[in-house]
């Protein structure tokens, strides 16, 4: 189905997956090569989708941050997607949460969202229309993949920009958005967020219930990643369509606030929805005390603060340049911390897939990396390494049909059902 496929270097997969025995390394290598060859075929035949990738603001899809080249600052770019056999991604129109739940705050959030909508449209319509296409339906995904282009979809990460204006849901849909994450880190006007804060609404607010109904009416997928457990149960109870968790893990394996309990996974399956397993190390495996201490010290040294991603919206060019230098330093120092205090790897990532399959069933699992928003693990650090996931799934006994479901079929099924449920 896919054109322009570039097979990854064999050794890169062997390093991750080899179970070579000392008895007959030649036989083991041949067995591994056959496994990788089979995985390559499955990977080429699958529609491979990532439901959550973050993007920058005004600089994204410009010469300063070009996703059309192999960009060392990005884990997701069109070259890495091609190398890894990735067909499509949902790019996140992310807006950070502010305590200002008032009209000035909502206005600023909407304006920040529009900057990112414009960036995605610039990528697909002006910079690289020969390499990618803005896609707004599951059928268009397949058509786009058949032409050899990458399918670019849009998700809105945080319902904060909606403010109290329900008509913005339709506006975002018309701009290409096909899901909205109801909250981010911090409560908003729609619902309570996951995390240690005291509840604001006790789940969905009254306005949040109207948001769910309007998203059902429009045909917008409801994303329950980031929201509190009580908010989750409220959504499951009232939504007339299946929902998604665009980038979450399994709480039974890692007790992070952002992960879903076994009961939530089972409920998602009953709802007909899908959980997209995240490739973010701290969600997949708890950090050791030593790693947490090293991370805290590094962030304090560099002046990183919670919410800094949103603060960058108002930065001057000089401030942006300074932040880029600090971020580059942070990335280099993070490599040292990762080497000294390893976090999750590909095997742990697939452990979460295994757990989700056990609780929700094979028809309700997908992949949402959170690349360029914190995602990236050993063995699956960017989209060029996507084949490694297929190899590990095959190694664990998943069939070609099951792997195709995980890589994209399940998400597209939910998308179609949400479209059918709209009024």
pLDDT value, residue 317:
65
pLDDT value, residue 396:
98
The answer to whether residues 328 and 382 belong to one domain is no
Tell whether 132 is covered by a domain. yes
pLDDT value, residue 314:
54
Query: What distances in angstroms separate CA 308 from CA 121, 245, 302, one per listed residue?
Result: 25, 24, 12
Q: CATH number, domain at 279?
A: 3.20.20.140
**Span 389-411, average pLDDT:** 99
Instruction: For residue 31, report the phi and psi dihedrals to the nearest 5 degrees.
Output: -65, -40
The answer to whether residues 258 and 271 belong to one domain is yes
Tell whether 199 is covered by a domain. yes
Lowest mean pLDDT among 23-32, 154-163, 316-325: 316-325
The answer to whether residues 199 and 102 belong to one domain is yes
- For every residue of 344-410, DSSP letters joined together read -BHHHHHHHHHHHHHHH-GGGEEE---BTTTB-BBTBSSGGGHHHHHHHHHHTT--HHHHHIIIIIH
Where does the pLDDT of residue 20 fall: very low under 50, low under 70, confident under 90, or very high at 90 and above? Answer: very low
pLDDT value, residue 392:
98
**Span 339-348, average pLDDT:** 92
The answer to whether residues 117 and 197 belong to one domain is yes
Where does the pLDDT of residue 40 fall: very low under 50, low under 70, confident under 90, or very high at 90 and above? Answer: very high
pLDDT value, residue 206:
98
Q: Which percentage of the chain shows pLDDT scores above 90?
A: 80
pLDDT value, residue 305:
58
pLDDT value, residue 11:
45
Which residue would you say has higher pLDDT here, 318 or 226?
A: 226
Tell whether 332 is covered by a domain. yes
Q: pLDDT for 247-268, tens place per residue? A: 999 999 999 999 999 999 999 9
Q: pLDDT for 326-342, tens place per residue? A: 878 887 888 898 889 88
Of 342, 359, 375, at which residue does a domain stop? 342
Q: pLDDT for 283-330, tens place per residue? A: 999 988 999 899 899 989 988 754 444 444 455 667 767 777 887 888
Of 322, 342, 362, at which residue does a domain stop? 342
The answer to whether residues 263 and 205 belong to one domain is yes
Is the pLDDT confidence value at 108 over 50?
yes
Is the pLDDT confidence value at 132 over 70?
yes
The answer to whether residues 297 and 395 belong to one domain is no
**Span 96-114, average pLDDT:** 96
Is the pLDDT confidence value at 23 over 80?
no
The answer to whether residues 323 and 178 belong to one domain is no
pLDDT value, residue 14:
45
pLDDT value, residue 25:
87
The answer to whether residues 404 and 326 belong to one domain is no
pLDDT value, residue 403:
99
The answer to whether residues 159 and 296 belong to one domain is no
Tell whether 300 is covered by a domain. yes
**Residue 416, Cβ density class (10 Å: 0-12 exposed, 13-18 middle, ≥19 buried):** middle
Q: In the numeric block, which tokens belong to residue 174?
A: 């018309």
d(CA 36, CA 351): 20
d(CA 363, CA 268): 11
Tell whether 326 is covered by a domain. yes
Of 342, 363, 385, at which residue does a domain stop? 342
pLDDT value, residue 379:
97
**Average pLDDT in the chain:** 92
The answer to whether residues 101 and 176 belong to one domain is yes
Tell whether 364 is covered by a domain. yes
Q: pLDDT for 174-198, tens place per residue? A: 999 999 999 999 999 999 999 878 9
Is 244:264 a contact under the CB 8 Å cutoff? no
User: What's the domain count of the chain?
Assistant: 2
pLDDT value, residue 316:
65
Tell whether 281 is covered by a domain. yes
Where does the pLDDT of residue 91 fall: very low under 50, low under 70, confident under 90, or very high at 90 and above? Answer: very high
Residue 312, domain extent: 288-342
Question: Model pTM?
Answer: 0.90
Where does the pLDDT of residue 164 fall: very low under 50, low under 70, confident under 90, or very high at 90 and above? Answer: very high
The answer to whether residues 318 and 202 belong to one domain is no
**Span 133-156, average pLDDT:** 98
Is the pLDDT confidence value at 10 over 80?
no
Is the pLDDT confidence value at 229 over 50?
yes
The answer to whether residues 356 and 401 belong to one domain is yes
Tell whether 3 is covered by a domain. no
């Amino acid at each position: 189905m896919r054109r322009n496929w570039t097979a990854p270097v064999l050794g890169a997969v062997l390093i991750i997956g080899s179970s070579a025995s000392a008895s007959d390394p030649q036989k083991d290598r041949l067995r591994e090569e056959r496994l990788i060859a089979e995985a390559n075929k499955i990977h080429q035949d699958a529609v491979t989708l990532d439901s959550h990738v973050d993007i920058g603001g005004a600089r994204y899809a410009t010469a300063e941050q070009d996703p059309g080249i192999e960009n060392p600052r990005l884990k997701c770019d069109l070259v890495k997607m091609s190398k890894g056999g990735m067909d499509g991604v949902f790019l996140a129109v992310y807006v950070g949460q502010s305590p200002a739940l008032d009209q000035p705050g909502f206005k600023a959030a909407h304006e920040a969202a529009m900057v990112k909508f414009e960036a995605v449209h610039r990528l697909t319509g002006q910079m690289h229309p020969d390499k990618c296409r803005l896609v707004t339906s599951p059928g268009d995904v397949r058509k786009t993949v058949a032409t050899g282009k990458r399918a670019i979809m849009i998700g809105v990460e945080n319902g904060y920009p909606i403010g109290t204006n329900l008509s913005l849901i339709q506006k975002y849909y018309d701009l290409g958005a096909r899901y909205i994450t109801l909250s981010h880190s911090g409560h908003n006007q729609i619902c309570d967020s996951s995390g240690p804060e005291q509840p604001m609404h006790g789940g969905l607010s009254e306005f949040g219930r109207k948001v769910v109904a309007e998203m059902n009416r429009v045909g917008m997928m409801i994303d329950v990643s980031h929201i509190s457990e009580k908010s989750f149960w409220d959504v499951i109870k009232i939504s007339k369509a299946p929902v998604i968790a665009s980038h979450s893990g399994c709480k039974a394996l890692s007790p992070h606030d952002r992960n879903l309990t076994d009961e939530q996974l089972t409920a998602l399956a009953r709802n007909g929805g899908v959980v997209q397993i995240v490739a973010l190390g701290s969600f997949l495996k708890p950090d050791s005390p030593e790693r947490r201490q090293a991370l805290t010290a590094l962030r304090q040294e560099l002046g990183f603060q919670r919410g800094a991603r949103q603060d960058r919206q108002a930065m001057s060019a000089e401030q942006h340049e300074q932040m880029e230098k600090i971020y580059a330093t942070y990335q280099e120092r993070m490599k040292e911390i990762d080497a000294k205090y390893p976090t999750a790897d590909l095997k742990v990532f697939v452990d979460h897939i295994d757990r989700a399959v056990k609780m929700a069933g094979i028809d309700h699992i997908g992949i949402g990396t959170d690349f360029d928003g914190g995602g990236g693990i050993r063995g699956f650090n960017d989209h060029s390494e996507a084949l490694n996931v297929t190899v590990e799934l095959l190694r664990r006994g998943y069939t070609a049909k099951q792997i195709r479901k995980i890589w994209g079929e399940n998400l597209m099924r939910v998308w179609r059902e949400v479209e059918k449920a709209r009024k």
